[in-house]
Every structure is written in C-alpha cells, then in structure tokens.
Amino acid sequence: MHSVAEALVRLGEVAESAPVTRLSAAFAAAGHELALVGGPVRDAFLGRVANDLDFATDATPEQILDIVRPISEAHWDIGRQFGTIGAKIAGETVEVTTYRADSYDGTSRKPDVVFGTSLEADLLRRDFTVNALALRLPQLQLVDPSGGIEDMLEGRLRTPSAPSSSFGDDPLRMLRACRFTAQLDFLVDDATEAALEELAPSIRRISAERVNEELSKLLRTDDPRRGLELLVDTGLAAEVLPELPALRLEMDEHHHHKDVYQHSLTVLEQAIAYEKARGVLRSPDLVLRLAALLHDIGKPATRRLEAAGAVTFHHHDVVGAKLARRRLRELRFDNDTIDAVSKLIELHLRFFGYSDGVWTDSAVRRYVRDAGDQLERLHILTRADVTTRNKRKADRLAFAYDDIERRIAELAEQEELNAVRPDLDGEQIMALLGIRPGREVGQAYRFLLELRLDEGPLGPDVAADRLRAWWAARS
C-alpha cells in the first residue's frame, strides 16, 4: 500500500501519458469534465499496474463521440445505451462513460439507465469504496466521497451505500466482494459480511454466465483462498457451488479423516505454486485450479464408516468427475474446460499405486495415454494432492513422482510417447485382413494399440504377423 503522496505521483505519471493527455485536453477544450475513475486510481494506491483506463464525464454519449472521433485511431459505441464509448487513442484502449444516476427495480440487476451530472454521485453508486475513487483531469484533484482511501489503508472492503441496499440493487456485487477479498487481500467489514449472509439467496437472480465469470476471476487471483472461504462462510457457495461447502464433512470421535474442505483449499494453493514454479502452463490456469478445488467433491457421496474407526471414499474419483461435469455444465463453462476438469478429477488417484510398487513400462504408457493432453496438469494436481504432515510419507511420494516423470521422459524420448499409435493404421488393417470398414476394423485397431502399449513399437512387419495370428485365432 502506497502513501497518498506516492499514489499521486503514480497517478501523475498516468495522467502524463499520451492517451490521457490527449483525451484530457480534448474534453477541456470542449468545456466538459473528465476524470480517471475506479480501478486505475485504486491500483495506484496499491502499487499495482493499471491495465484499464476508465473515465467518467458529464458529456452525453453523443458529445463523447464528437470529442474522441478526431483524436482516436478507432472508436466504437457498443455500450452507448449505457453511456459508454470506447476508443483507441495513442495505441491504448480507453472507455469514457457519462455520469450515471441509475435506479433498480429490485427484481433485475439491470438498472434503468439514468445519466447524471455529478462525479461524486456517480462514484457513490459504485460497488465498493475502494473502487469509488477518481482523479479529476487535468487538475489532478483526487475525489474520494466515501472514504475509500482510508479503507485501503485499513485493508477493508465495504460498500459506499448501505450494503443491504447495494447488494439488493445488484446481487452480483456479493460475488465481486468475495473476489476482491482475494484479489486485494482485504477483509469485508462486519456490516458487509452480515448483508452477504442475509442476501445470499438473491444471487439466484444472476445468470449462470455472470456467476461463471466472477468465480473464474476469483480462481485466477494469486491466492483465492480468502475469497473462497468468504464464499462458503456467507452461504453464497451453497447457492452457486454447493459441492464446495458439502466438503465440510461431519466428524465424530470414533471415525477420523482429514478435513476434506481445508484439504481441498490447500491442494488449490499448492497447485498454484507448482503452476508458477514449473512454468509449463500459461498462468493463471483455470482448468488446473478448478480441478484442484473440485478434485474431492465425490467424497461426501461415497463416504463410508468402517469398523475400527476407518473411513473410506471408494470410487470418489469417478463420482467426483460426474458431479464436476454436471456443475460446470450448469455454470455454462465451455465443453473443453468441462472435459479437461472431469478427466483430471477422474485420474487424480491413478498415481498413488505407483509408490507401492514400480510400474511396468506398459503401465506408464497407459498413464500417459489416459492423461492425453492433460498430462502436465495431472503431474501438478497429483503432486499438489499430497498434504500430509508426515514428512517421511511426503518425501516418499515426492520421490515416487519424480521417478515416474523421469520414466515418462525417457520413454517419450525413446518411443515418441506423446503420439502413441498402433504400428498399422486403419487402411493397412483392412488391406491386410481383406475386410471392409466396420466394427472388426475397430477391434483390430484396439488389439494393435494394446500391443503397442504393452510392448512398445514393434514395427509394421512384426505387427502384421501378430495381427494375422490374432485374426486367425479369432476366426
């Protein structure tokens, strides 16, 4: 957190950049107000790089267009009905929005758009005080009508108006509160948390697509744990991702198992650390993070209390993959994400037999084949899933996984393991056996694939001999 003086220096640097000076001069010449608002001002205090340049003005959308048209390389008015005009100025994308004084009907998060005339009033209708900041241009005058700077100094997240009113107007702000606690490393104040608990059911008014967007942004933060815990503690997760609070399984004095909910959050943290350290995936990797968070969601449904205090979760990997597929589909995730997350959850236990006994080359090939293009994510998820405090056990598992990765690399170098295919393709199979396309070709292909996995590459001549023998025995 920077001091006010340091933040003003940073804001001054932003104000002196080519797109801002050009825009500021044009609005001043036209006799209209202009202010840099929201995230860029907040991030100057937090020492973060501002990725967006958002402005507010008393000019109408039509007037904004007239002002930006002569100074921009391109402009667009896709948000015109909401008062927003976009433009590209000096190579930077900017958005300029007319002051707003919206009202809500209490049933939809979409307000009746009403344009305002006051910067202060516009700021007070925003989601949180730390986002209700502005820098008037070209005066470089800081505007903070709701105490956002003090809240940043205290690491506090609260709404400019009464939280029940703010969340009642737009329930999506409740998910944004969870995201910002993680993104900014802030805590919500007591009144805000109470309103989150009271109004959690109203999140049902929000479309699945918007919920997806906020959850994804939360998971992409550097440390999502605080936001996820707020999501669960306030009851919001029960509405949008019920599988997560369901992981807080009841414990009793006779049957003991690790806290599955806290374990899952730790696995997520460790997966993020591996994701960054290994540097193979583009970070942040949403698929990996979803899989890490949800990898054990099959445990509540498969929990069994056995004799002598044992607790089992047989087949929770398979059940969890199905539950994840259903939930992600309801949240409108794309099919590729759903397929990848489900596959990772289904495979996340596969490795743990390796440490009990060295796998054959065939078993290693099958591991790679089944993981497919998710192999690197599976490497990370499996490593992250080790949360035991028993150092000897943790070291043994880490050594075992180092060993399997070494063997995969060696086999890949020897056999081009990433493209495991039979030694003969479908056309060659049909020509060799004198058969037409159909089920028998598929059966022959699978026979050769099993040979390839069990014995490695055989070469076309040996594969042809083995196929003829299989065909003759089959006939």
Same domain, yes or no: 292 and 367: yes
Domain count, the chain: 4
Q: Supply the CATH number for residue 329's domain.
A: 1.10.3210
Same domain, yes or no: 236 and 247: no
| Domain that includes residue 459, residue range | 421-474
Place of tokens 């049933």: 107
Same domain, yes or no: 33 and 86: yes
Q: Supply the CATH number for residue 232's domain.
A: 1.10.110.30
Boundary-marking domain end, from 223, 241, 259: 241
Same domain, yes or no: 357 and 222: no
* Regions of the chain short of the pLDDT cut 70: 1-2, 102-112, 250-258, 355-357, 415-419, 475
Report pLDDT for 377: 97
Q: Supply the CATH number for residue 29's domain.
A: 3.30.460.10
Same domain, yes or no: 273 and 407: yes
Boundary-marking domain end, from 417, 443, 459: 417
Same domain, yes or no: 207 and 326: no
Whether omega for the bond prior to residue 171 falls within 30 degrees of 0, making it cis, is no
The answer to whether 170 and 206 have CB atoms below 8 angstroms apart is no
Report pLDDT for 254: 42
Tell me the pTM: 0.83
Place of tokens 């400019």: 160
Same domain, yes or no: 199 and 348: no
Same domain, yes or no: 160 and 38: no
Same domain, yes or no: 166 and 310: no
Contacts of 136 (CB under 8 A, 6+ apart): 33, 34, 35, 119, 142, 143
pLDDT in tens, 438-473: 889 999 998 998 888 888 888 899 999 999 999 999
Same domain, yes or no: 400 and 434: no
Same domain, yes or no: 311 and 229: no
Report pLDDT for 109: 53
Same domain, yes or no: 288 and 404: yes
